[in-house]
Amino acid sequence: MSRKTSRRHLLAASLALGFGMPSILRGGQLRQIDHTEPCMGTLFTIRAYHHDEEAGYRAIAASFARMHALDQILSDYRPGNELDLLCQRAHIEPIRVSDDLYRVLQFALNVSRQTDGAFDVTLGPVVRMWRTARKAQRLPSLEERHAARALTGWQDLAMNVRRRTVHFAKAGMQIDFGGIAKGYAADAAREVLRKYGILRSSVAAGGDVGALHPPPGETSWRVALEDGQNETATVLLRQSSVSTSGDLNQFVELDGVRYSHIVDPSTGIGLTSRRVVSVVAPTGMQCDALSTAFSVMELPRVKAFLKKNPAATTRVVSLAKASPVVWQSQGFPLARD
């Protein structure tokens, strides 16, 4: 990660958690412990409150170890890791995978099905093509898009629960967890913190924030949403998570059009709708996958989805016009002050 990028992410993570307060505060002897570290190509921050600072740091170190281990398994940047080996061989025979990989893939496949492929965990070949195109600052040709899209399709991926196996119907398929892995990592870190008894804590995995119980003296965690407006909105979290997806940080501008790093599966290139979507739900994995999915889906489809899945709420900010247009679903936990 470049120094510029890492500074930007550090700032984003710091703002998200409202840093700038003294590091030992309110709540009697409870100490505030903050730790930030690079993981999954961005910066992750854990904030925890505990009486024993050393015990707090031990728990945070264990949480980071867990998240780095997940990065090893789930990243599509690591030749020879579990995901890479799976994608190389799963068209030949069903491949048995680790519990973590199985769990994320099963969830991702469900979201792919429920969103009718707006979120598509098999979009790897298209995401790679689009990444190369963004770097080269040129749109891929229709042939390139067609070839990459032919290698995708969540319907072509079969999982066997009993055997814990994954099987592809065709060669060349690639799984991409870029839209879900950070949320899962934040959930896994929360689990570790809970096991260590660090209950007043939060985990910011880039734009995905998961909270356990609130800081001492507070009723919730306050998380600032990055939404491209001057007045940032703040959500209130308590044993819940929030994810934000959009084109604010990762995009390419070609001929005056801004393309997101989120790909529209129907075209094979980045979204141009200029939307920032935040989702609040019980788990980070849900939030992460749904904020990516809702970026692709038209608003009526998002509304229909939420009707069937009331555990999630969302805020959609459209930046397509001169002044932003905001839509929020009922119950979105925005701070009123």
Partner from ligand AMP, Mg ion, none binding residue 261, C-beta < 5-8 Å depending on class: ligand AMP
Which residues are bridge partners to 45 per DSSP? 36, 204
Work out how close the CB of 245 gets to Mg ion at its nearest, in angstroms, rounded to a whole number.
5
End-to-end CA distance of the chain: 36
Which residue's CB is nearer to ligand AMP, number 63 or number 152? 152
| Cα–Cα distance for residue pair 167/158, rounded to 1 Å | 5
Distances (CA, A) of 89 to 96, 113, 151, 304: 11, 24, 15, 38
Q: 262, 285, 297, 319: which one contacts ligand AMP (CB under 6 A)? A: 262
Decide if residue 279 touches ligand AMP (CB under 6 A).
no
| Core vs surface per residue 271-296: b (16+ CB within 10 A) or e | bbbbbbbbbbbebbbbbbbbbbbbbb
Of the candidates 125, 153, 178, 215, which one interacts with ligand AMP according to CB under 6 A? 178
Smaller CB distance to ligand AMP: residue 165 or 249? 249
Report the residue number, 32 or 240, with the smaller CB distance to Mg ion. Answer: 240
Contact (CB, 8 A) for 249 and 234: no
Site string for ligand AMP, 240-259 (x = CB under 6 A): -----x--------------
Under the binding rule (CB under 5 A), the answer on residue 288 touching Mg ion is yes
Judged by CB, which is closer to ligand AMP: 95, or 263?
Answer: 263
Q: Using the rule CB under 6 A, is 263 a contact of ligand AMP?
A: yes
Report CA-CA distances (Å) from 58 to 42, 52, 54, 62: 22, 10, 6, 6
Per-residue exposure over 243-257, b if at least 16 CB sit within 10 Å of its own CB, e if not: bbbbbbeebbeeeee
Name the minimum Å distance from CB 4 to Mg ion: 23
Q: Does 261 bind ligand AMP (CB under 6 A)?
A: yes
Binding test (CB under 5 A) with Mg ion, winner from 56, 125, 179, 270: 179
Q: What share of the chain is helix, strand, coil (3-state, %, to 5)?
A: 35, 25, 40
CB atoms within 10 A of CB 298: 11
262 binds, among ligand AMP, Mg ion, none (CB under 5 to 8 A by kind): ligand AMP
Does 207 bind Mg ion (CB under 5 A)? Our answer is no
Complex with ligand AMP: residue 71 or 120, whichever CB lies closer: 120
Length reported for the chain: 337
One-letter amino acid of 58: R
By a kind-dependent CB cut-off of 5 to 8 A, residue 283 interacts, out of Mg ion, ligand AMP, none, with: none
CB-nearer residue toward Mg ion: 198 or 262: 262
* Closest separation in Å from C-beta 247 to ligand AMP: 10
Q: Which of 86, 127, 185, 269 binds ligand AMP (CB under 6 A)?
A: 127
CB of 263: closest distance to Mg ion in angstroms?
12
Among 36, 70, 288, 314, binds ligand AMP (CB under 6 A): 288
d(CA 177, CA 69): 15
Answer yes or no: are the C-beta atoms of 26 and 217 closer than 8 Å: yes
| Of 286 and 292, CB closest to Mg ion | 292
Cβ distance to ligand AMP smaller for residue 125 or 179:
179
Q: Could you identify the residue written with the tokens 């925005």?
A: 334
User: Which one among 100, 176, 227, 247 touches ligand AMP, defined by CB under 6 A?
Assistant: 176
> In whole angstroms, how close is the CB of 248 to ligand AMP at the nearest point?
10
Q: In what side-by-side order are the strands of the sheet with 325-328?
A: 31-39, 42-50, 200-205, 208-211, 241-245, 275-281, 313-318, 325-328
How many angstroms separate the CA atoms of 115 and 64, rounded?
31
Binding site residues, Mg ion, CB under 5 A: 179, 288, 291-292
